[in-house]
Amino acid sequence: MSFKLYHLILQVPKEHSAFLYFTFESNDGLGFYSTLDHKEGDSDRHIEIQGPIEFKEEVLRLIAILKKEFRLEIILNQDYDEATPSC
């Protein structure tokens, strides 16, 4: 059995990353997010978001709203099938 997931990587200015985290935290359940490794002094952060494909449109809607407030780019946008382990 498998299910479909979305996978996004966003690029956001460091000074706006906390607000991005807050926004996704307050919309709990849309997916899992984490900050990818970065070097000290980098002005941007790359945020990885993954979750069930059923929530992708809502996530993209939130991103569109946030893009009106600050620079935010989607640098990876893909869907994939995740196989579930058999028990």
Closest to 23 measured CA to CA, from 58, 53, 52, 51: 58
Please, what are the domains in the chain? 2-83 (3.30.70.2040)
The better pLDDT of the pair 1, 27 is held by 27
Give exposure, 42-80, as e/b (b: 16+ Cβ within 10 Å).
eebbbbebbbeeebbeebeebbeebeeeeebeeeeeeee
Q: What is the pLDDT of residue 83?
A: 67
pTM summary value? 0.85
Q: What is the CA angle 65-71-74, rounded to 5?
A: 75
pLDDT tens digits for 19-58?
Answer: 998 998 898 889 999 989 888 888 999 999 999 999 999 9
Structure-model confidence comparison of residues 76 and 28, the more confident one: 76
Fill in the amino acid letter for 77: N
Beta bridge partners of 74: 10
